[in-house]
Structure 1
Amino acid sequence: MQSAYSSKELAINGGPKTVNKHFQWPVFSNAEVNAVAAVVESGKWGNPDCGDEVLKFENEFAAFCGSNYAVTCVNGSVSLRLALMACGVKAGDEVIVPPYTFITTATSVIECNCVPVFADIDPETYNISPAAIEAAITPRTKAIIAVHFGGLACDMDAIMNIAHRHNLKVIEDAAHAHGAEYKGKKLGTIGDAGSFSFQSSKNLTSGEGGMVITDNDELFAMMHSLRNVGRMAGGQWYDHYNPGCNYRITQMQAVLLSQQLKRLDEQTRKRNENGLYLTTLLDEVDGISPLKRGAEITLHSYHIYIFKYDASRFGNLPKDQFAEMLAAEGVPCFKGYPHPLYKQPLFRNKNFMCYAIPETADYSQVYCPAAEQACTTDAVWILQHAMLGDKQDMEAFAQAILKIQRLVC
């Protein structure tokens, strides 16, 4: 089809942008500034024994999620490791993980001296496939890490059913899913433990930080001990019962998070509303397919809004170039992961250092077709802070995609 437009109209070639708005992140006010200043002025900056502000935030976050317990730590990678260790994994045990996620979902398993086993994603949701989980289970399997990728809930009914039948622990990696819900229940509260990140890009942030939530008394006691140098409640300061380290956050992080938490529900509902609207717009664009969202997804946090891109409907323009053009048009977007985790040099080179990964572990033969396709040709991400815009912004995002399509076809 001959374009009626000139390619010079593309912003990447010097044309006008479709979106001319700056989407601020993080969102903050004097409330955050004053809260941090009060901690600075108090002179009580650290967290030697679960300080008042840290404990206050833990209680607030647990109440927000509807869980019994919450344990803060330095980041979301450590929170996964604390959960795995508390769940009782031993050296050489296998933990099933998706290949389409951030690297630390898998490296937290290695750091527990366990073996990551990759189970492919559902091509309609980009979450771990229950059927692939079932196929990956062996006598050595001890746990499943279910990543709610982009803030879209996994099929938790199916995953919990598999876990119960095989006596497996389930850890929800909810680093993208603060405030999101599955059948009205907050993500992170369905499995044995739920892990969250407060890193700079996350929907709830203090720059860095992490959290694990659980309803299980024993898991809580162990995670609380592991993040506090192995100390136990009621013990002396220099009594150390478990192989933990100092993974505590500071009072300043805690007050930042307490203030940010006040904004989270409203922000989550705004992202959810915008995500639903943007989907109605993109459903009308030939070659663009938003990820499937079932009725069980009662609240989506849209840490990433993901759509599938069909290059054949865009003049066979490669995905990487399309994403670059879309970003130039002013849409905060990204092409996504370049390849699945098992293709990372860490796994291809088996650079596991001193960890107890058996010699038989061979990731060179792993192939997950849905994850491969997402990485190479299909997945494009719009980032969470853009989803805090208004309806007109969502319309502009769709117009930017249509503009590219018209000019490249």
Structure 2
Amino acid sequence: MIYKHDRRKFLGTLTLVGAGVTLAGSSFSYIPEGNKKPALLGGPRAHPDPFPSWPVSGKREEEGMAEVLQSKKWGRLNGNAVGNFENKYKEWTGAKHCVAVSSGTSALFTSLGVLDIGPGDEVIIPVYTFVATYNVVVLNYALPKFVDTDLETFQIDTDKIGQAITQNTKLIMPVHIGGSPADMDSVMDVAEKRKIPVLEDACQAHLAEWKGKKVGTIGLAGAFSFQSSKNLNSGEGGAIITNDDMFANNAYNFHNQSRGNDGENSSYRSTRGTNLRLTEFQGRLLTEQMSRLQEQANRRTLNAQYLTGLLKDIPGIYPAKLYPGVTQSAYHLYMFRFDKNAFAEMPKSRFLEALSAEGVPCSGGYGRMNKENYVQDLAKNRHYLNLYGKSTMQEWLENSICPQNDLLCEQAVWFGQSMLLGTKNDMEQIAEAILKIRAHAGDLAKS
């Protein structure tokens, strides 16, 4: 573990007293006195300065945008910036092919289009994911089959994928939540035994690796997002990577109104298609942003590992675990669980409020998607009722119960990736904030 010496000194200052935490003397100036109050109770903020802003840009991006502007070739059909980005991204990921598209959702939608997912088909997805994973299935009038969450990792519980498979299952779509790879050995094992293709939703997982292989190259294809919050960012945008020649060719056709890449006069290549093309401005911006990506990824990893070392011994705080096969997390999110039982029964909402007051931006993470009205109402949708019938849709609702995910949603806390671009001192101040809150949890819970 990095910073091991400093971490020992930090942990040596902790003395647990009842439900609180008393912090004795330390060589670290950020360690508070035992009676220093949380910011919500009138004390000073643990993290008084702002975290790094996002996105990061400079002269490279400015010059690149100006060059595209002056070229008067702003679309991929007459420019080369998108093609240049695709070549660079496939080299970085080790994939044979890359097709850039207009968003991460477009990458998923295009991939489902290539696989001809449609009415009557079932697609297995994790319940703990961004709604786009669900939306692309429903846009094709297929049935999304939710699989419960592995509480300790926040990822899909691969032990439960097999029982979700039926004769109608046409795709397994694991998601690398927060940029940390799902258990891809287990996913591929069940998929290969059942002869079901795997599409990796890697929208949050740029440069993440499973056993030395970049995510997105393990299944049939992988989908990435370059939306404004992502580690690689062009405001909006996405990409599909694959090692399958036919899949790549069909993905290009689908995103280009079912036309090939041999000019405006090319013939139609399939029965469905749409326009999901990336612009030349976005392609060039992504190429310039990639010059920063590896250094930023390295910094996130160092800070995330250090922060985990500080937090994992605080009672009631459980950083998300990585599977043994993970050789690199993208740390798009830093995720941990908060157990109110170790914080005087303080509700998570109060913990988030107290943490924010300390100058530490945080989120409660995804909600119970399977229980959202937006999702539940699919069982009443007239198209789905016509396609599947009332009894099938009612059974779908009943089988969408995910108790582990319910518990995770009660406990989950997130930090955004830009916070991990800060300093070692920033990580220590995050730990200080949580320790202050725990030491005064009783007062905070009552106030």
| TM-score, scaled to structure 1 | 0.94
Residue 280 of structure 2 corresponds to: 251
Greater Rg by CA: 2
Structure 2 unaligned blocks of 5 or more: 1-17, 23-32, 443-447
Within 5 Å, which residues of 2 pair with 1:330-345? 330-339=359-368, 341-345=369-373
Residue 65 of structure 2 corresponds to: 36
What's the CA shift string for 1:161-204, capped at 9, x where partnerless? 11000010101111110011111111111010100000110110
Superposition misfits of 4+ residues, deviation over 3 angstroms:
1-9, 12-15, 233-236, 351-357
Match of 1:168 among 171, 196, 204: 196
Q: Is the 8 A contact 2:36 2:436 kept in 1?
A: no
Do residues 358 (structure 1) and 388 (structure 2) align?
yes
Letter in 1 for 2:326: I
Deviation, structure 1 residue 88: 3.3
**1:21, 1:352 → 2: CA distance?**
49
Do residues 116 (structure 1) and 150 (structure 2) align?
no
Within 5 Å, which residues of 2 pair with 1:177-256? 177-234=205-262, 236-237=264-265, 239-242=267-270, 243-256=272-285
Letter in 1 for 2:297: T
3-state DSSP class of the match of 1:16?
Answer: coil
Residue 411 of structure 2 corresponds to: 378
Within 5 Å, which residues of 2 pair with 1:9-48? 9-22=37-50, 23-48=52-77
Residue 266 of structure 1 corresponds to: 295
Question: Percent of aligned positions with the same letter in both sequences?
Answer: 40
Residue 393 of structure 1 corresponds to: 426
* Paired residues, number: 406
> Could you say if the C-alpha distance between residues 8 and 136 of structure 1 is closer, same or farther in structure 2, counting changes exceeding 3 Å?
same
Residue 9 of structure 2 corresponds to: none
What's the CA shift string for 1:269-313, capped at 9, x where partnerless? 211111111111111101101111233211111111111111011
Residue 404 of structure 1 corresponds to: 437
Residue 353 of structure 2 corresponds to: 324
**1:74, 1:136 → 2: CA distance?**
31
Letter in 2 for 1:384: Q
**1:6, 1:124 → 2: CA distance?**
31
Q: Is the 8 A contact 1:269 1:299 kept in 2?
A: no
**2:224, 2:382 → 1: CA distance?**
27
**2:193, 2:214 → 1: CA distance?**
23
**1:108, 1:121 → 2: CA distance?**
20
Do residues 53 (structure 1) and 108 (structure 2) align?
no
**2:277, 2:357 → 1: CA distance?**
40
Q: Is the 8 A contact 1:271 1:300 kept in 2?
A: no
| TM-score, scaled to structure 2 | 0.87
**1:211, 1:361 → 2: CA distance?**
33
**2:42, 2:253 → 1: CA distance?**
57
Letter in 2 for 1:60: K
Letter in 1 for 2:305: L
Structure 1 unaligned blocks of 5 or more: none
Residue 310 of structure 1 corresponds to: 339
**1:136, 1:120 → 2: CA distance?**
10
**2:212, 2:34 → 1: CA distance?**
49
**1:54, 1:145 → 2: CA distance?**
26
3-state DSSP class of the match of 2:198?
Answer: strand
Residue 13 of structure 2 corresponds to: none
Farther off after superposition, 40-49 or 98-107:
40-49
Do residues 95 (structure 1) and 140 (structure 2) align?
no
**1:186, 1:2 → 2: CA distance?**
43
**2:106, 2:42 → 1: CA distance?**
44
